[in-house]
């Protein structure tokens, strides 16, 4: 599963989407964003061992204590055009290998 987001600030929405897709048994979730707002770090969220969710249930009462967080520092790198070309090249190669 490839999850696209235009821009991220701290990563909460894309991380929650990744968590829901992983909980729905997606074999692999690749999260991509085009850019980042501000100088804040991205925070990766993982459910604590023993915490489970049903991604098909509408309402949850989770707290920050249900997650293990890791602060990820970013750096300036190649522009989005280069990153998207590299990603698409990877998918094309994988599809050709599977055929």
Would you say residue 77 has pLDDT above 60? Answer: no
Q: Is residue 84 predicted with pLDDT exceeding 80? A: no
pTM of the model: 0.55
Cα–Cα distance, 67 to 60 (Å, whole number): 14
Nearest alpha carbon to residue 47 among 14, 16, 78: 16
Q: Residue 86 phi/psi, 5° resolution?
A: -65, -40
**What is the per-residue pLDDT for 74?**
58
More confident call, 99 vs 48: 48
pLDDT for the residue numbered 76: 54
């Amino acid at each position: 599963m490839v999850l696209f987001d235009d821009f991220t600030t701290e990563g909460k929405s894309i991380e929650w989407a990744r968590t829901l897709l992983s909980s729905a048994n997606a074999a692999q979730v690749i999260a991509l964003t085009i850019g980042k707002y501000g100088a804040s770090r991205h925070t990766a969220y993982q459910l604590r061992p023993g915490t489970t969710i049903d991604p098909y249930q509408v309402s949850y009462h989770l707290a920050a204590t249900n997650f293990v967080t890791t602060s990820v520092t970013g750096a300036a790198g190649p522009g989005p055009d280069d990153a998207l070309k590299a990603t698409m090249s990877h998918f094309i190669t994988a599809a050709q290998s599977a055929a």
